[in-house]
Structure 1
Amino acid sequence: MLTILQLIVDTAASVVGGVLLLRFWMQVIRVRPPASVAQFTFTLTDWLVRPLRRVLPGVGGYDWASLIGAFLVVLLASCVLLLAGASGQTVLLVALFRFLNWIIYGFMGLLIIEVIFSWINPHAPLAPFVHALNDPLLRPLRRLIPPVGGLDLSVLVALILLQIVKYLLGQAFFF
């Protein structure tokens, strides 16, 4: 029964936290989401972001309430998943590790979605939005890695680099 609760909590936290991170990233790169994405994002996250904005106003042009909200969600989920028996420091480290993993997996997911769009329908309504979300990651790689036979390998390189970061992160947290 406990694992079912953990599954539900982890899934709900991952969805809400992922959308909060998406909201933060959209604001960082100044991309305007399509109406359906915007409505979904704001409807799912306003309950947390609006109250946090009273305490954490945007500084430097960034929506810190969304980012901190995502961390609070992962922290709360980590408390529930670890339940009793874990020290506060352990819960905080696990939450930080999971938070950074969410960020890495979010970028990986966006890259995979862009690849799927490029294969299936590059003119899909969401394709320019996903491309804009990935552009800050891929632009530096595209300067270094020219297309090979007309194929853009920068997405593959980005995915490999994200896997390396994820591996190093796991090594740093759990020697």
Structure 2
Amino acid sequence: MISAIFWLAGELIHLMILAIIAAAVMSILIAFGVANPRNQIVYSVADFLNKLTEPVLRPIRRFLPYLGNVDISPVVAILLLQALQMVLADIYGRLAMAGMAF
């Protein structure tokens, strides 16, 4: 049961990282004019990714300094999520060594 909870948490973190990468790529495509945000599909995908990633990125943007038009909050968020994934793996490893993970 404990291993399933840690597996699910790790997968959710991984999916959030993928969503942040997809949102950043979509933002770049829209900024360079490759994707047209007036297209309904492009707008729907961009809006979905924005709504999915904004709760993670908003608190980070409050603490980062303004760097012009460059938004480095996705990079910081991915690094923090990777660190969280490592912490969860360490906790699970310690539980397994103690014989509590079954």
Q: What TM-score do you get using the length of structure 2 for normalisation?
A: 0.75
Alignment of 1:5-154 (within 5 A): 92-121=1-30, 123=37, 124-125=42-43, 126-154=45-73
* Unaligned stretches of 5+ residues in structure 2: 32-36, 95-102
* 1:146 Cα deviation from its structure 2 partner: 2.8
**Equivalent residue number for residue 34 of structure 1:** none
RMSD after superposition: 1.3
SS of 2:48's equivalent? Answer: helix
**Equivalent residue number for residue 160 of structure 1:** 79
**Conserved? CA contact 1:146–1:152, under 8 Å:** no
**Conserved? CA contact 1:110–1:130, under 8 Å:** yes
**Equivalent residue number for residue 92 of structure 2:** 173
Q: Percent of aligned pairs with the same residue?
A: 29
State the number of aligned residues.
Answer: 84
Q: In the aligned structure 2, how far is the partner of 1:98 from the partner of 1:147?
A: 36
Higher relative contact order, chain-length normalized (CA < 8 Å, sep 6+) = 2
* 1:173 Cα deviation from its structure 2 partner: 0.3
Q: In the aligned structure 2, how far is the partner of 1:112 from the partner of 1:138?
A: 12
Deviations 1:63-122 (CA, angstroms, capped at 9, x unpaired): xxxxxxxxxxxxxxxxxxxxxxxxxxxxx1221111101110121111011011012235
* Unaligned stretches of 5+ residues in structure 1: 1-91
